[in-house]
């Protein structure tokens, strides 16, 4: 039995310690927003945030995550409108949409680390996130918009 902190909730997971987090999220906990694609850590579709860093859920064994804070797409916002998600909608980023949860999670991790990134910082942070539809320019534009939205929200507080 492995106990993990996922989306600010403790979850007891009855599975092998070496099971990838991706399978525990999807098959045991029913958190299907984290998608499976390559299964080898190359595409970024399964990206989650672990202790503030974008990580590939398909490559993370459960036993390596004990005591860490894990955030999935379901945990970004109670109303599904985290500023990055809203920016994705405003900029019509998605085409097929399959990679977008991983893209969004990587963008959130970037903005948590660098609140106002330039294009090079965005490109570097998003380099491992593959999009078959090639919406990279819209992704970059959405990240800039989300940065602005988050700054405005902070200024209003």
Q: Dihedral sign, CA of 66, 69, 73, 74? A: positive
Whether 106 and 44 share a structural domain: no
Question: Per the domain annotation, does 150 fall within a domain?
Answer: yes
Whether 68 and 100 share a structural domain: no
Question: Per the domain annotation, does 52 fall within a domain?
Answer: yes
Q: 3-state secondary structure string, the chain?
A: CEEEEECCEEEEECCCCCCEHHHHHHHHCCCCCCCCCCCCCCCCCCEEEECCEEEEHHHCEHHHCCCCEEECHHHCCCCCCCHHHHHHHHCCCCCCCCCHHHHHHHHHHHHHHCCCCCHHHHHHHHCCCCCCCCCHHHHHHHHHHHHHHHHHHHHHC
Question: Per the domain annotation, does 50 fall within a domain?
Answer: yes
Domain that holds residue 44: 2-73
Residue 45's pLDDT is what? 96
pLDDT, tens digit (0-9, with 9 covering 90-100), for 33-79: 999 999 999 999 999 999 999 999 999 999 999 999 999 999 999 88
Sequential pLDDT tens for the chain (157 residues): 899 999 999 999 999 999 999 999 999 999 999 999 999 999 999 999 999 999 999 999 999 999 999 999 999 998 868 999 999 999 999 988 889 999 999 999 999 999 999 999 999 999 999 998 899 999 999 999 999 999 887 776 6
Domain count, the chain: 2
Q: pTM score, two decimals?
A: 0.94
End residue of a domain, out of 73, 103, 131: 73
Question: Per the domain annotation, does 39 fall within a domain?
Answer: yes
Task: Report whether 54 contacts 72 (CB < 8 A).
Answer: no
CATH number at residue 119: 1.10.150.120
CATH number at residue 57: 3.10.20.30
Question: Per the domain annotation, does 78 fall within a domain?
Answer: no
């Amino acid at each position: 039995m492995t106990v993990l902190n996922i989306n600010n909730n403790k979850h007891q997971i009855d599975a092998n310690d070496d099971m990838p987090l991706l399978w525990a999220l999807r098959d045991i906990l029913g958190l299907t927003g984290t998608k499976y694609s390559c299964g080898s850590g190359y595409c970024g579709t399964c990206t989650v945030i672990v202790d503030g860093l974008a990580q590939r859920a398909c490559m993370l064994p459960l036993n390596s995550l004990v005591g860490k804070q894990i955030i999935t797409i379901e945990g970004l916002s109670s109303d599904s409108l985290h500023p990055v998600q809203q920016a994705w909608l405003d900029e019509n980023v998605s085409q097929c949409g399959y990679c977008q949860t991983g893209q969004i999670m990587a963008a959130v991790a970037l903005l948590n680390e660098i609140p106002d990134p330039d294009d090079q910082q965005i490109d570097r942070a998003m380099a491992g996130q593959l999009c078959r539809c090639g919406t990279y320019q819209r992704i970059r534009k959405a990240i800039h918009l989300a940065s602005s939205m988050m700054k405005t929200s902070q200024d209003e507080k």
